[in-house]
Amino acid sequence: MTSPSHASDRGGGDGDSVENQSPELRKDPVTNRWVIFSPARAKRPTDFKSKSPQNPNPKPSSCPFCIGREQECAPELFRVPDHDPNWKLRVIENLYPALSRNLETQSTQPETGTSRTIVGFGFHDVVIESPVHSIQLSDIDPVGIGDILIAYKKRINQIAQHDSINYIQVFKNQGASAGASMSHSHSQMMALPVVPPTVSSRLDGTKDYFEETGKCCLCEAKSKHFVIDESSHFVSVAPFAATYPFEIWIIPKDHSSHFHHLDDVKAVDLGGLLKLMLQKIAKQLNDPPYNYMIHTSPLKVTESQLPYTHWFLQIVPQLSGVGGFEIGTGCYINPVFPEDVAKVMREVSLT
């Protein structure tokens, strides 16, 4: 992998003129796929703005996620604080789950023949992040965001008791074009009986890197990627081979395979850095819809996989669509170099 210092030696790299920048292909062991950086297709890094900013989030006439309407929701799993009618957050079942939590007894069936079918057992839960409709995640203080992260952890620990679950994906769709069907701030968790392809591909890539260098590639984040900000326990970076424009990763500084080993102190610390990144994205990019995903390790990683599995959180502002080239090849075209993204995002002033 080319080091950032070498990568930034490319021609015309003053961050303001894109005319002399040549396209470049990059591959990161973490994503394990090629990205084409093609800045000539785009405007200056500072000109990226969302064309479809989020609406001011008017309260609809009926929102079941608002406090006082709990009986209109699917069953509650737990709330914070416990049993408190003045809750700060609630974790509930998804009313329209993609997988069924009632099929566990059938889920031990082996895959049969060439069709590779298994029963659709799994969990699909929703974390309602605030009792108040107008509050967005980035409005919540670091302690409150830490509470949400600890709620993810608690639910992961509950689901992990089910032996046929192999991977748990935590994600947030913020804004209609990022896939959110409810405007009330929430995130989701999907627990799957299989290890999804991005995770197996990441394990392959980070394993190869470990075998070549003896190191975990995410422990080396500060030298391999372009640092935006850091807190006591986390660093936020524009990744060297970012798939999407203005994509940001928040990575624990200490080696850790699983998100659900996060402790309370680190949760508040991560809450602060996540809030800062979301505020900077909103300010710099005109309040775009966004997704974040927590990329953790499969529940049943082996002892030998632990040294090269390292969780992180990926934030993707929705600035560009996916077209035929990306669907056809699995390669992505990114119109902005991450070194320019890091420079722009470091300098965003929130005052």
Please report how close the Cβ of residue 166 comes to Zn ion at its closest, in angstroms. 21
Rank residues 35 and 218 by Cβ distance to Zn ion and give the closer one: 218
Interface with Zn ion in residues 8-47 (CB under 5 A): none
Please report how close the Cβ of residue 73 comes to Zn ion at its closest, in angstroms. 11
Rank residues 79 and 280 by Cβ distance to Zn ion and give the closer one: 79
Rank residues 29 and 272 by Cβ distance to Zn ion and give the closer one: 29
Rg (C-alpha) for the chain, rounded Å, is 21
Please report how close the Cβ of residue 66 comes to Zn ion at its closest, in angstroms. 4
Among 89, 140, 145, 218, binds Zn ion (CB under 5 A): 218
Please report how close the Cβ of residue 341 comes to Zn ion at its closest, in angstroms. 23
Joined tokens for residue 37 = 């950086």
**Residue/partner pairs of 29-32 with CB below 8 Å, 24 or more apart:** 29/1, 29/205, 29/206, 29/208, 29/209, 29/217, 30/202, 30/205, 30/206, 30/217, 30/218, 30/239, 30/312, 31/198, 31/201, 31/202, 31/205, 31/239, 31/241, 31/243, 32/201, 32/202, 32/204, 32/205
**Listed ranges 17-25, 61-69, 99-107, 142-150: which one lies at the site for Zn ion (CB under 5 A):** 61-69
SS3 at position 149: helix
CB neighbours (10 Å) of residue 184? 21
**Listed ranges 33-41, 103-111, 133-141, 262-270: which one lies at the site for Zn ion (CB under 5 A):** 133-141
CB neighbours (10 Å) of residue 2? 14
**Listed ranges 3-11, 78-86, 217-225, 323-331: which one lies at the site for Zn ion (CB under 5 A):** 217-225
Among 25, 40, 63, 143, binds Zn ion (CB under 5 A): 63
Interface with Zn ion: number of residues (CB under 5 A): 10
- Is 249 one of the binding residues for Zn ion (CB under 5 A)? no
The reply to whether 186 belongs to the active site is yes
DSSP line for 214-280? SS-TTTTHHHHSEEEEE-SSEEEEE-TT-SSTT-EEEEESS--S-GGG--HHHHHHHHHHHHHHHHH
Among 172, 258, 310, 343, binds Zn ion (CB under 5 A): 310
CB neighbours (10 Å) of residue 182? 16
Dist. CA 351–CA 349, nearest whole Å: 6
Of 6, 124, 162, 186, which is the active-site residue?
A: 186
Rank residues 27 and 222 by Cβ distance to Zn ion and give the closer one: 222
Is 124 assigned to a binding site? no
Among 37, 48, 65, 311, binds Zn ion (CB under 5 A): 65
**Residue/partner pairs of 20-23 with CB below 8 Å, 24 or more apart:** 21/337
Please report how close the Cβ of residue 307 comes to Zn ion at its closest, in angstroms. 8
Dist. CA 247–CA 338, nearest whole Å: 8
User: Which residues participate in catalysis according to the annotation?
Assistant: 186
Question: Which residues line the annotated binding site for ADP-alpha-D-glucose?
Answer: 41-44, 72-74, 94, 173, 179-182, 188, 321, 325-326
Q: Can you give the binding site for Zn ion, defined by CB under 5 A?
A: 63, 65-66, 133, 184, 216, 218-219, 255, 310
